[in-house]
Structure formats: structure tokens, C-alpha cells
Amino acid sequence: MVIFMGVEILGYAIFAAAMVGTPGPANMIMLSAGARYGFRRALPFVAGVLLGKQLIIWPIGFGLMEVAGRYPLAFDVLKWVSVAYIFWLAWRIAGIRINQTSKTSAPGFAAGLIVHPLNPKAWAMVTVAFTSFVSASTPTLVATATIALTLMSVQLVLHPLWTLGGQAIAARMAGRKSEKYLMWVLAGLTVASVLLVLVKDV
């Protein structure tokens, strides 16, 4: 066990890599963006997704969990609004077709910024980070900064890989009959990743 600044840093880094590297709503959306628009055009969106996780980490670190304990109903409502949003994104994914030469604008930084705040998996992941890998005596600022920087380092490596994966898939399947099935599979994986999170919460 490696403790750094009151955080079990090695265990948390492994946990973060497993969570960020496995299929989830954000990864499925980045995979789809890479397939639809190509890596370069999707980069602003990817940057937004990466920084959007910080909008979860810092509020949780500075007391949002206490609010959640006092008003659980409000957080249940937020969870289901988040689920509805991710399902809507999945429906959009299912309907698009790969065309990286299209003049249609790729989703930008602002669109990426709200993906994690509306992603149940992201909230669960950050909550586990603070409750399982941080010592109770760790100063709030130190704990939050350590969690934030570690997670961002993992995201910097893995988020672009998901987007590049989408671009690689597109290079093989664009314009073929199997293309529409690919987009439906991506949409289905997006929905499945949310349902898995919800099942774990039950």
C-alpha cells in the first residue's frame, strides 16, 4: 500500500485506470465521436469530457456528500435526469452515420464538459475514490487535489485512445452495410454501461 498525502495513491491509480479504461457512457460517446468526426475534429469535445470530471471531483471533495446525505431525494432525481440524458445521447448515436468528411460541426468543448456531470458512472467513481482511498485525517484540499490530478493523468492517456479507436473503426466500416449496425451497437453499449451502474446501486 502506497500512501501519498493521505491518499492510497497506487490503489487509487489502478482503480481509476480500470474505471476510465472500461466501457462507460463517456467512453462510448468518445468512441462514437471519433468514428463520426475523426480524432482531430473530436479533440475539443474530448478536452471538455476530460475537464468535466473536475466539476464532480471538487464539489464532492468539499462537502457535496454531506448534502447528499441530508437530501437523498434530490440526488435520486439528479440520477434519473442524468440517465435520461445519456439515453438521449445513445438514441442520437444510433441514428448517425459515419462521415468524417461531413461539414456538420463536431460536438465542441462545452458539449464535452457536461458529459461527466450527467454521467452516473462518473459520480459513483468519484464517490468511491473519496470513501475508499482517502484517509479520514487528510486535509480536504490535499485529498481533493490528489484525487483530481491522479484521475486527470489517467484520463489524458485513456480518453484519446477511445477516440482513436472510433476513428480506426470508421476507417474500416464507413459506407458499408454494417455501418448502421455498428452505430446501434455503440448506442446499445452506452445504454448498457448506464444500466450496469444502476444495477450496482440497487
pLDDT in tens, 132-162: 777 767 788 888 888 899 899 999 999 999 8
- Domain residue spans in the chain? 3-96+109-201
* Structure confidence at residue 74 (pLDDT): 67
Least confident of 22-26, 62-66, 168-172, 195-199: 195-199
Give the 3-state secondary structure percentages of the chain, helix then strand then coil, rounded to 5: 80, 0, 20
Q: Provide the 8-state DSSP code for 106.
A: P
Question: d(Cα 107, Cα 30) in Å, to the nearest integer?
Answer: 10
Render pLDDT for 8-42 as a digit per residue (tens, 0 to 9): 777 778 878 877 876 677 887 888 888 778 888 88
Q: Quick count: other Cβ atoms within 10 Å of Cβ 35?
A: 29
Question: d(Cα 200, Cα 194) in Å, to the nearest integer?
Answer: 10
* Structure confidence at residue 172 (pLDDT): 74
Angle at 160 (CA atoms; ends 148, 13), nearest 5 degrees: 35
Question: Which residue is listed with cell 490535499?
Answer: 142
Q: Within the chain, what is the greatest distance between any pair of CA atoms? A: 58
* Structure confidence at residue 132 (pLDDT): 74
* Structure confidence at residue 45 (pLDDT): 92
CA 38 vs. chain centroid, Å, equals 19
Are 86 and 119 in contact by the 8 Å Cβ rule? The answer is yes
Question: DSSP E strands: which ranges in the chain?
Answer: 3-4, 7-8
Render pLDDT for 53-104 as a digit per residue (tens, 0 to 9): 999 999 888 876 566 567 767 656 766 766 676 677 667 666 665 554 555 6
Question: d(Cα 5, Cα 27) in Å, to the nearest integer?
Answer: 30
Question: d(Cα 35, Cα 39) in Å, to the nearest integer?
Answer: 8
